[in-house]
A = this chain, B = another copy of it.
Amino acid sequence: MTVDFPNKQTQGYEIAIAAGSLEGLGEKLINLGLGKKSKKVLIVSNPVIFKHYGDRTVNSLASEGFEVASLILPAGERFKTAASLQKIYDAALHNKLERSSIIVALGGGVIGDMAGYAAATWLRGLDFVQVPTTLLAMVDSAIGGKTGINHPQGKNLIGAFHQPRLVWTDPEVLKTLPAREFRAAMAEVIKYGVIWDRELFEQLSACQRLDQIRYLQPETLYLILVHCAKAKAEIVSKDEKEGNLRAILNYGHTVGHAIEMVTNYRKFNHGEAVGLGMVIAGAIAVELGFWQQSDQEAQLELIYKAKLPTKLPQDIDPKQIIAAMSQDKKVDRGKVIFIMPKAIGSAIVTDQVDLDTVYKVLQI
């Protein structure tokens, strides 16, 4: 499928999903006309991913005549820093990347965000290719052109919109993804079903083991990846730079971020917090009459089947959640912005959720 931008100024790009496709990356870049002027490619990756998939990626590129250099950065959100970015710049300089050279991100969201930001800003913009290796990157962060790094005081405060020239997804690589990471990303998968794609929601409902589909049902996983990528592509095509529609992607995130903050980013990972945030946002939506109790139960069932937490731990004080929400960057003119599901496959953005209702729901 492709991401096309109606304005025709931003170049559209293909999202290609195929098992075993990693070996075909070099040929694909040639077919896209990349590497015509400069054959230099810088792969940015992390140690574990590069150990598993580095050789295949490098060989695929080298066999098509690319001059490949690689930079391995430590894994994890805490390394998404100006210091890591500087290492990418230094590698770009050392390897004499030119304006027509290519940066390839081989990794998850952290690698993709940093490598994409370096590609956005080195020589004012190089071609960039996403090869996502986590479920979360495949369905979310690799698509849509958001790139950036963290500031010591906050996540993603420094960044740029820089669309990739290609998103090249090989579902085979998910077999080595840690189980908890796979489950967590399932929260975002379910999110697309709730806010955008009823058919996806039904496919997920028909699966018995959402946490195990990469081993038990690879064909279903493939279909899910296609649906999610299509949902994200449709949403960002219509709203490249986060005007309004794109905000619905934050479903579950208003409360989710607050839960992450209150638990010091330790107890839950991002996907787990978002799953909880969706449960709570859904309950608020029922409370306020935005959607039906039966839809909320169907959503809950999916989150449960993904083996994700469905209840806020007793030791978290709802008051802390409320306080954390008030500081979120999704606050606009002092009002907390909420994404409310209206039906399975449809959601709206509203600032009409009062914190009293949130507090009431959190206490249930």
**A positions within 8 Å CB-CB of B:** 7-10, 37, 82, 86, 89, 93, 98, 120-125, 146, 148, 151, 153-154, 156-161, 241-242, 329, 332-333
Contact = CB atoms under 8 A, between A and B. Distances in A.
Contact of A124 (B86, B93, B154, B159): B159
Contacts of A242: 124
A104 to B, nearest CB: 20
| Copies of this chain in its oligomeric complex | 2
A332 B10 contact: no
A125 B86 contact: no
A159 B121 CA distance: 5
A161 B124 contact: yes
A208 to B, nearest CB: 40
B160 A124 contact: yes
A311 B136 CA distance: 61
B125 A158 contact: no
A124 B157 CA distance: 7
21 contacts: A37-B332, A89-B151, A89-B157, A89-B158, A93-B151, A93-B153, A93-B157, A98-B332, A120-B160, A121-B121, A121-B148, A121-B158, A122-B157, A122-B158, A123-B159, A123-B329, A124-B161, A125-B160, A125-B161, A125-B241, A160-B160
Interface centre among A146, A151, A329 (most CB of B within 10 A): A151
A241 B7 CA distance: 16
B82 A86 contact: yes
Contacts of A37: 332-333
A216 B315 CA distance: 76
